Every structure is written in structure tokens, then in C-alpha cells.
Amino acid sequence: MATEQDVKRYLAYWFQLGRQVIAGNGRAYLLPQPVLKGDRYSEEFEDCWQQIRSQVGDCHLEGTDETIAELLSPAWEMLPCGRCDMPVPMRNLGMPALSCPCNTLPNWPNTELPSPRSPVSSEEQLKLIRDRLWKKLPSSNR
């Protein structure tokens, strides 16, 4: 089952590649920029997420058919795409989604560009690196 955090992360990744959320039968196109701000999602992304949450039954990611409400149901989970490794919705039971949103992105996957990502705490990452290095030092050098 996809959690709300899984769906939020899914949208954040695809927003970073320029995919929009289509709301209100095409009356609105949502694409917050920037998506990330340091170690968290940007205010623009958080505002967009709240807007999507208020109309989940009427929103879907560009290039897909499943509404956000469907993705938040127990029938779906987020797994990596077999082609590009981006998160895509997969049914727990029954037929999978018709295709990955990457299907219509020209020149994707592109391993020469940084991949979309989740927010990262630089401080936490540096602590993990420090701890790994500390473990590799002989005890006499500590």
C-alpha cells in the first residue's frame, strides 16, 4: 500500500523532471518550482501538495491515468520503474498501470544528469560519512 509520503515523494520526483499534475479536467496544471529547498521540500511544493490533497479525486500526474485518490488507496504501491528507476505506481492485485510517465520523456533516462531525489539533510549525511570513516580507522589512531 502506498502511503501519503510515498505519493508525495513520487510527485516530487516527477516534478523535478518537469511533469505536471493535471487538476480539474485540465483546468489547472500544477508544477511547483523549486521542489526542494535544502534538506526539505520547498514551500511552493508544500503549497502545491496541499492543493492536490484538497482535490485528490480530480488530479493525476501528466502521462498517467490514475488519480491521486486512487494512488492513496490500498490497491496501489510505489515501486521503481524497470526502465528508469523512478517511482511508479503498481497495483497490488490486478493489471499494472499502463506505462511509466518516463515513456514519453525524450532522452530519459539520462545518466549524465543528476537524478531526481528526495530532500537530504547535509548535516546528517556528513555525520554518516564521519561515522563510516571513524569505524575504518585503527583503534590506535583514534
What are the average pLDDT values for consecutive 10-residue runs of the chain, which has 142 residues?
92 95 92 94 97 93 92 91 86 69 78 80 84 77 58
- Domain count across the chain: 1
pLDDT at site 94 = 64
Query: Rounded distance, CA 86 to CA 126, Å?
Result: 25
- Between the CA of residue 3 and those of 36, 86, 97, 120, what are the distances in Å? 20, 17, 18, 20
Of 85, 78, 82, 87, the residue nearest 111 (C-alpha):
85
Contact 16, 91 (CB under 8 A): no
Task: State which residues form the domain around 118.
Answer: 4-141
Cα–Cα distance measured from residue 130 to residue 19, given in angstroms and rounded to the nearest whole number: 37
**Measured CA distances, 111 to 77, 80, 84, 107, 124 (Å):** 25, 16, 10, 10, 26
Helix, strand, or coil here: 73?
Answer: coil
| Residue among 51, 60, 50, 74 at smallest CA distance from 10 | 60
